[in-house]
Amino acid sequence: MQGLSGAGLQLHALLSVERICLQLRAQTRDDVLRELVGLIPSLAGAPERQERLFQALREREELHSTGIGDGVALPHARQALPDLLTEPELAFGRHPAGVAFRAVDGRPVRLFFLLLAPNLTIHLAMLARISRLLRQASLREALLAAPTPQAVMDLVREAELQLNRPGV
């Protein structure tokens, strides 16, 4: 399965250039969600599936914001989406100024990781892993400065390599 290896779930393997937008243009939470949904290649050309995903993300945000603080949000559906996808999906978006996202700290969000999973086990593993990575202020700062999508992928890969080292 893509993104899974002997060391477990590897988020960097789920990223690709087409799943990364370094200049989100949206000005509202819902528009950010729509822009992120547009980064999922498996849903391209399927507007009804994109709308279902958008509604699932929007419902989750209405329940409780996925803005975790420090300028980061982890949009995801409340439950796994086996009817929409068969593999985990990860997309990254960066907003130049930040968007009001009802984050727990009240600050605008600039870094968005959209997490999608076909089952609950992968869903929870993705959330746990990205949350752990993004606790590192140095990674958040580097993601804000990354000049290219490839640089974002490299940063996530390096952070995961550090996480995978024994004793970390």
Active-site residues: which are they? 76
Other beta carbons less than 10 A from residue 151's beta carbon: 15
**Rounded-to-integer distance, Cα 135 and Cα 130, Å:** 9
What residues contact residue 54 under an 8 Å CB cut-off, 6+ apart? 30, 33, 34, 37
Residue 34 parent element (H or E): helix 29-37
Q: Amino acid identity, residue 157?
A: R
Our measurement of the distance from residue 145's CA atom to the centroid of its chain's CA atoms, rounded to an integer in Å, reads 17
Three-state secondary-structure class, residue 75: coil
Residue in 99, 166, 111, 101 with CA at minimum distance from that of residue 135: 111
Residue in 132, 128, 32 with CA at minimum distance from that of residue 75: 32
